[in-house]
Amino acid sequence: MFFTLERTFKKRSRKVFNMMDKINIAYLITAYHNYGHLEKLIRALQDTNVYFYIHIDKNSEMPTNLNQFTNIKFIKRHKVWWAGWSHQKAIFNLMAAAVKDNYDYYALLSGSDYPIRSNEFLYNKLQQGGEFISIKEGFPSDLKRGWITNFYFDLFYRRKPNKPIWIKILLRLEKKISLYFPKKNFPFKKVFFGPTWWILTHSTVRYILDFLNSNRHYERFFKNSFCCEEILIPTIIGNSGITNIKGNLTYVDWSVHPGPAFVSKKHLAIFENDFVQNEYGDNVAFFARKFDKESEALLDFIDLNFRA
């Protein structure tokens, strides 16, 4: 296992926050490109009560424009392949690195996210307590059930348009393995799904990591799954008895294929609403994704009209 923590908390404690103090937040970021936007994201969230833990995909070059910040820690890198276990591993490593420093909340982001409301808006939400993650019981579809029952290699980029012959061979091999050796013995009582991105309390992050450290068969089961970051943590929380689930705070537009859609001017009307609807219910959005290197003018508009 890639982390070692103390014993699992059997009872979750709820911290009482002083309303005069700001919540201490660890921002956990997975990134691999567009470091100019990543710098702008960090500047937007910058405050005395926050710290940034960043995993840079080993397939990419390290950024040089972030050395100016003193509240950033780059964790040990490994190669990350889209939809593979390697991304979930990066998330767990970020959690394990940050939890040692004992923050009130831990916010998981991608390097393509950006806040669409003032930082005080987030602080006020977090002062109310709760776990800001969206989970829903059951498999959303037979396709997504196959994400964990089928076998997937974590060795290459699946969205590559012109795949070399060795990738085509591995894709065929995956189908054969999935057909003859499907994974049937789930290590959990009930399965839960949810978006990758969340903001969780210290006790919940500790619970997740301690649980995995004590139940190593979970990692073995999910290691060759697809998009396990949308299943594993929601399933652990859903089977734990953890309550006060309030829904995640990240807006994502999945109306295009392949998604998600890049944020554009048409999304600004959505951001004006108090609540944003998705398949997990209505919730307030603080972050939106995803933005690209062409989004600078749009970000300036958001800063002036939504975050001021």
Show the domains of the chain with their CATH numbers.
25-140+185-305 (3.90.550)
pLDDT band at 17 (very low <50, low <70, confident <90, very high): very low
Mean pLDDT, residues 236-258: 91
Q: Residue 282: its pLDDT value, please?
A: 57
**Contact status, residue 26 vs residue 238, Cβ threshold 8 Å:** no
Q: Where is average pLDDT lowest: 7-21, 31-45, 241-255?
A: 7-21
Query: Over the stretch 175-197, which tens digit does the pLDDT of each residue have?
Result: 999 999 999 889 998 999 999 99
CA–CA distance, 163 with 156 (Å, rounded to integer): 10
Query: Over the stretch 208-223, which tens digit does the pLDDT of each residue have?
Result: 999 999 999 999 999 9
- Per the rule left: phi > 0, alpha: psi between -120 and 50, beta: everything else, 148 is alpha
pLDDT over 80 at 275, yes or no:
no
pLDDT band at 16 (very low <50, low <70, confident <90, very high): very low
pLDDT over 60 at 32, yes or no:
yes
pLDDT band at 19 (very low <50, low <70, confident <90, very high): very low
pLDDT band at 272 (very low <50, low <70, confident <90, very high): confident
Give the number of other Cβ atoms within 10 Å of residue 290's Cβ: 19
Dmax over CA atoms of the chain, in Å, equals: 60
Query: Over the stretch 107-151, which tens digit does the pLDDT of each residue have?
Result: 999 999 999 999 999 999 999 999 999 999 999 888 899 999 999
**Contact status, residue 113 vs residue 287, Cβ threshold 8 Å:** yes
Q: Residue 184: its pLDDT value, please?
A: 86
Q: Residue 116: its pLDDT value, please?
A: 94
Percent of residues, the chain, with pLDDT higher than 70: 90
Look at the block and give the residue holding tokens 């919540």. Answer: 23
Query: Over the stretch 69-96, which tens digit does the pLDDT of each residue have?
Result: 999 999 999 999 999 999 999 999 999 9
CA–CA distance, 63 with 44 (Å, rounded to integer): 18
**Contact status, residue 205 vs residue 106, Cβ threshold 8 Å:** yes
pTM summary value: 0.90
Point out which residues pair with 51 in neighbouring strands: 26
CA–CA distance, 123 with 21 (Å, rounded to integer): 10
pLDDT over 50 at 224, yes or no:
yes
Averaged pLDDT of the chain: 89
Q: Residue 8: its pLDDT value, please?
A: 32
pLDDT over 90 at 280, yes or no:
no
**Contact status, residue 263 vs residue 291, Cβ threshold 8 Å:** yes
Q: Residue 274: its pLDDT value, please?
A: 61
Which position has the higher pLDDT, 100 or 243? 100
Which position has the higher pLDDT, 11 or 202? 202
Mean pLDDT, residues 58-68: 96
pLDDT over 80 at 304, yes or no:
yes
